[in-house]
Structures are given as C-alpha cells and as structure tokens.
Structure 1
Amino acid sequence: MVSDVDRYIAAGTRENTRRSYQSAVEHYEVTWGGFLPATSDAIARYLAAFAGKLSLNTLRLRLAALAQWHASQGFPDPTKSPQVKQVMKGIRAVHPQQEKQAEPLQLLALERCVRWLDGQLQEARAAGDAKRVLRCSRDKALILMGFWRAFRSDELTRLDVQFIQARRGEGMRIFLPWSKADRDNRGATYSAPALERLCPVDAYCDWLETAGIAHGPVFRGIDRWGRLGENPLHPYSVMHLLRDALQGAGLDGDAYSSHSLRRGFANWASQSGWDQKSLMTYVGWKDSKSALRYVDAQADFRLPAL
C-alpha cells in the first residue's frame, strides 16, 4: 500500500521526468549490463560505449538519471567524478553536435496558416462536416494561443477551462498550476491580449462555443467519427497539428516544430522593440540565457551611401 509520504514524493516529480529517468536507468542496467550502485569507472565506460551513438543531450540525461538514483538510494554520486567529467569533455570534442533549433514561426506565416484554417472552417460549415469544423476551430485556437502566449506544447495541452477567464475585446488570464520552469509547483498566472486580428481570445471563445466545452481540458482529441474526447491532447500532437496546418497553407510544415510558436513570438517581440526584461517577464523566463536562445540576432549589413 502506497503511503502518503510516497504519494507526495511521487507528486513532486514530473511524470515525464520520472519516465525518462526510469528509462535511463533501465538502459544502463539492461541494455548495457551495468550494476547499481555504480563506480565512476563503470559510468565512464558506459559513456564511452555510447559516444557517437547517442546525442550529447541524451548522455547528459542518462547521467542525471543515474545521479538521481544514487542520491535517492543514499549512495555517493559517481557521475560527478573528475574521470566522468573528462570523458564527457572528450566526447564533446570528438563528437561535436550542432544544437538544433526550431524554425521560428514568422507573423506572415501565422497569418497564412490562420487564413487557411478560416477558409477550411467556412467550407466545413457549408458542407455540414462537423468533424472538420471541430478540428479547424481547435487548431486555430491552439496555434494562436501558443504563439501569443509563447506556451510550450505541454503547457498548451494542460490548459484547463476552470483556470482561464476570457472576455472578447478585453483579453484573457490563464493560470498554470505548474510548468517546466516552476520547480516548486507554485503556479503562475499569464495574460493574453485581445487583438483586432489573429486574436487568441476570440479563437479560444469560438472553440469553446463550437465544442460545447464548459469544464476540463481545453484542447482534446477528436476521433475519426468526429467525437470530442475527454482527455487532453498529448504534447507531441501539437507539432503535428501545427505542421498539418502550415502544410495546408502551402508552407513547408516539416521545417517547424511546436517550439516554433515560442521562438516565433520571441522573435516578433524582439523585432517589435520589446526590451529583454519585458520579454522575459511576459514569457516567464528566469534568466537571460533562456531568452537569448529563442531570439535570433538581428545584424544590419546595410552599407552607408558613398
């Protein structure tokens, strides 16, 4: 029987993190055949065995999982030894990897995407295609809220009607009980603007009215018969929904991911004159490094007239 202490300890760990760490430990024990608790030499040999086969980020995740396992079991952490650090440094030198970043969704691409979805909505209503009406209305709201609020895919899929107040022409307030950057589960409240066009508030209200949603998850799955589900979309679905909409609008959907919404807003805000502090406050970034990763540098190569 699970005790209250165990239940709260489990609740204090992100489900995705728990699954990732469990998978990493299984990879070390089962796939590689390692033993726990481990020595620093064993960890170093494990890293060397998969250098070049796994990405640097994956190897870092493996180390974090093994470090957490040793800490939780009361053993010394072998991943912090000089030997392991030197091996990781060598792997970075021998197997350099360029960090992949999603293509930012520019405002013109967003407009084309939404215009295409609006056209699909009109056609679906005229044809009495209730399934396509639901899909287009949902996807339009998800994309506009994702862009103007710079939400991650997991944040979009965890939005709940009870935590959102929206008024057409005024704006909306969104409460997230926790997020990736909110390690203490304190929750945070975000605002989103009401705009003359590409409005996330109108799109959200239209979606709730179309789907008849009064409580529970905002963005849900729709089955092949056009029935709206009770459970929220999976975070991985956001990328596919965005790509499908961009593809329909005649754009290269494969160039984008769910992070394109967040990067797109950050670049739009920077190009619109937002200072770094305002951008960080709006998005919820705690340090400048996070903000700089999402904003492309704007270099001016225009030459003065002779």
Structure 2
Amino acid sequence: MDKKHKPTDSPSQDTPDEIALPADVAGSGSLDRLVETARDYAEHAASNNTLKAYAADWAHFARWCRMRGTDPLPPSPELVGLYIADLAAAQGKTPALSVASIERRLSGLGWGYAQRGQPLDRKDRHIATVLAGIRRKHARPPVQKEAILADDIRAMVATLPHDLRGLRDRSILLIGFAGGLRRSEIVSLDHGKDDTPDAGGWVEIMDQGALITLRGKTGWREVEIGRGSNEQTCPVHALQQWLHFGRISFGPIFTGVTRDGKRARETRLNDKHVARLIKRCVLDAALRPDLPDAERVKLYSGHSLRAGLASSAEIDERHVQKHLGHASAEMTRRYQRRRDRFRVNLTKAAGL
C-alpha cells in the first residue's frame, strides 16, 4: 500500500487525539490533566454506534478513492460530488443507496474530515447541487414500520414462557411499549444512577409507577410509566418481577441469562436482542396472518413499540410528544398510524 494512503485509514485518526495544548503554551501537570479530560469529553460527543458508523463511512470513501487512483485528502468537493453520484447510481452488483443512506455517508465524511482538521464544505455547489438532484430523482416517502398496538402487545407477551428469560423479555416489551422507548434506550438502562459509565439512564420504582431518566440527543429527559390495571400486562410489575428473580440490584437492568436459565448474567444485552425478540413474538402471536412470515417480520422493528404507543394513547398530542421526547408535534404525528386527521377542521373554522 502506498504510504501516503495510510493516514486516511488509521484508526487513530478516528479518536480526538488531536486535542492538545497550543504550540506556544508550556505543559504542566494540571494542563496535561486538562488535555486528557478534554479528550475524554470529546470521545463522548457522539454515541459509540454513531462513531462506528462514521468510521465505516470514512473507510468506504478512502477505499473508493484508492480504487480510482486518488486520495481523500485534502478535501475536494468535486471528488465528494462524484462519490455520492456513484452511490446513487451504482453499477454492476453494487446496489444503489437510498437518499437517507447517502446523506448519512456525507455526515460521516464531514466527521472524518473534521477529525483530521480539514473541514468539508457541504454547501459547495459540487456537493449541494448533486445531492439536490439525487433527492429530486430518487427520494421516496419513508417506509414506516407497523405499529404494535395494545392488543398486539398483549398477544405477544402471552407467547412468552414464565421462566427467567420470559420474565426478562416480557419486561423488555412492556417497558419499551409503555415508555415509547427506542431499543437502544431499553438496553442502556441501569438499576441506579451512575452504576456504570456506559449507561444511558436509570430507573426509579415508586408506588404509582416507574420513573425513567434517559440521556437523549438533546439532553436528559424523564419518562413516567404508570402502573397498569392488570398485573399480567403491567410494565412496572413485569420490571419488578424481573429485577427480583434476576437479582438485579446494580448495573445493567437487561442482561443475558445463563445457559441453564437459572441466573442473570452481568453483561448488558445488545439492542439487536430487542429487534429479534419483537420479530419472534410477532410470528408466535400470529400478527398479520394475512402475510407470509418473511413479509410479516419485515413490517416490525424496535420502532414499532414507539409507534404503537403513539397510535394507541387516546390523550392530548402534547403529552405523547413529551413522553417520546420529540422536539416537534410533526415528528410525533409521523409515529401515529391511526390518528384522527380531521378532528380539527380549519376549512369550517375559516367560515367555508
């Protein structure tokens, strides 16, 4: 490999090692410690999943450049414009990417260039006009996942066994539905505050329900999950049962279970477990029996829980928006699969 290409793929470039003292400032014990502290904060500027995706985006772009005898550095809007055009109109066996995936790739490239101290101007006409054309020619309405409604979630939890794994999975589904949580938020929960450094939040169980404190994209938010009217489907009762029999008193709440099914492990579950659990229960509960199994599982994902709560809760939209942590009512409406669209008739209100 040509030496000039090595720095573009080096993993060390994907960390904030460039944070250092100014060249004209002499180092000292206290300043050096602050540099390490600043690097630690910089490492937490984005989630691990986001950083992995951005690193993969940069690696793909670097390989694309090498295969065409060029270098990704310094930033070239003309080259990036050609790259995204190739992603949108891929040749041969390589499938074309969606508009959303191309925009994500651009974000990854922007991050990669910023890590190397050479910002990319995404507003440059060589990028902006090509992207605008890709959006105009290839953009499609987003494919929404099927909402898991109240009757669906009851049918799904009824398929779970009453062993330790069943208690855990029942709690995952009910807490995820009642909290309107993302799958990553579900598995990131700890028993208490500051239990582990990789936690995304913690749970406090009260007489009236459970209070979940979550670290979101825009800061911390609280999610209140009230107790249900039936113990069989009460999310708080299900969580208490799992915590009790799993002997979870510290650290990650949702963990693996030993092979014999008698003891909870200490290792946090991956968010993919939530997706697999939903798809398996959809099949076992025979949701959408009008479709073949392969099509049924494609309809449902982790977001089906959030969409199900937004679609099932017959309350003021503002409460649903706050519960889901959405910045706008418009985002909340995207999750509502069966809302009354013409409850407010502005035509009549305007006098027509």
Q: Normalising TM by the smaller chain, what interval?
A: 0.7 to 0.9
- Residues 252-284 of structure 1, C-alpha deviations (whole Å, 9 max, x = no match): 550211100000000012xx1x22212111222
Unaligned ranges ≥5, structure 2: 1-16, 18-34, 90-95, 193-201, 289-295, 343-352
- Distance in 2 of aligned mates of 1:221 and 1:31: 39
Question: In the alignment, which residue of structure 2 is the partner of 1:258?
Answer: 302
Question: In the alignment, which residue of structure 2 is the partner of 1:143?
Answer: 173
Amino acid across the alignment from 2:212:
I
1:75 partnered with 2:118: yes
- Pair 76,158 (structure 1): closer, same or farther in 2 beyond 3 Å: closer
Instruction: Work out which of the residue numbers 91, 107, 124 in structure 1 matches 2:150.
Output: 107
- Where relative contact order (Cα < 8 A, 6+ residues apart) is larger, the structure is 1
- In the alignment, is the contact (CA less than 8 A) between 2:75 and 2:119 conserved in 1? no
Amino acid across the alignment from 2:246:
A
SS at 1:192 equivalent: strand
- Distance in 1 of aligned mates of 2:225 and 2:341: 30
1:166 partnered with 2:205: yes
- Pair 111,11 (structure 1): closer, same or farther in 2 beyond 3 Å: same
- Pair 32,103 (structure 1): closer, same or farther in 2 beyond 3 Å: farther
- Residues 123-177 of structure 1, C-alpha deviations (whole Å, 9 max, x = no match): xxxxxxxxxx111101111100000100000100011111322146x2111122x
Question: In the alignment, which residue of structure 1 is the partner of 2:274?
Answer: 238
Higher gyration radius (CA): 2
Question: In the alignment, which residue of structure 1 is the partner of 2:213?
Answer: 175
What percent identity do the matched residue pairs reach? Answer: 27
Shift of 1:223: 4.3
- In the alignment, is the contact (CA less than 8 A) between 1:280 and 1:291 conserved in 2? yes
- Distance in 2 of aligned mates of 1:84 and 1:223: 51
Unaligned ranges ≥5, structure 1: 122-132, 301-306
- Distance in 2 of aligned mates of 1:299 and 1:173: 31
- In the alignment, is the contact (CA less than 8 A) between 1:219 and 1:232 conserved in 2? yes
- Residues 90-125 of structure 1, C-alpha deviations (whole Å, 9 max, x = no match): 2223323331211000111111112222xx32xxxx
TM-score normalised by length of structure 2: 0.74
- In the alignment, is the contact (CA less than 8 A) between 1:51 and 1:91 conserved in 2? yes
SS at 2:159 equivalent: helix
- Residues 192-229 of structure 1, C-alpha deviations (whole Å, 9 max, x = no match): 10011221110000111121111111111224333532
Aligned length: 278
1:44 partnered with 2:81: yes
Q: Which one has a larger percent helix, Structure 1 or Structure 2?
A: 1
- Aligned Cα RMSD in Å? 2.0
- Distance in 2 of aligned mates of 1:83 and 1:29: 19
- In the alignment, is the contact (CA less than 8 A) between 1:43 and 1:78 conserved in 2? no
1:229 partnered with 2:265: yes
Matching of residues 154-233 of structure 1 within 5 Å: 154-162=184-192, 163-167=202-206, 170-176=208-214, 178-179=215-216, 181-182=217-218, 186-197=219-230, 198-226=233-261, 227-233=263-269
Amino acid across the alignment from 1:190:
V
SS at 2:210 equivalent: strand
Amino acid across the alignment from 1:234:
N
SS at 1:57 equivalent: helix
1:295 partnered with 2:332: no
- Distance in 2 of aligned mates of 1:290 and 1:92: 20
- Distance in 2 of aligned mates of 1:61 and 1:200: 35
- Residues 3-30 of structure 1, C-alpha deviations (whole Å, 9 max, x = no match): 3321221122221111111111111002
TM-score normalised by length of structure 1: 0.84
- Distance in 1 of aligned mates of 2:227 and 2:119: 53
- In the alignment, is the contact (CA less than 8 A) between 1:66 and 1:79 conserved in 2? no
- In the alignment, is the contact (CA less than 8 A) between 2:75 and 2:118 conserved in 1? no
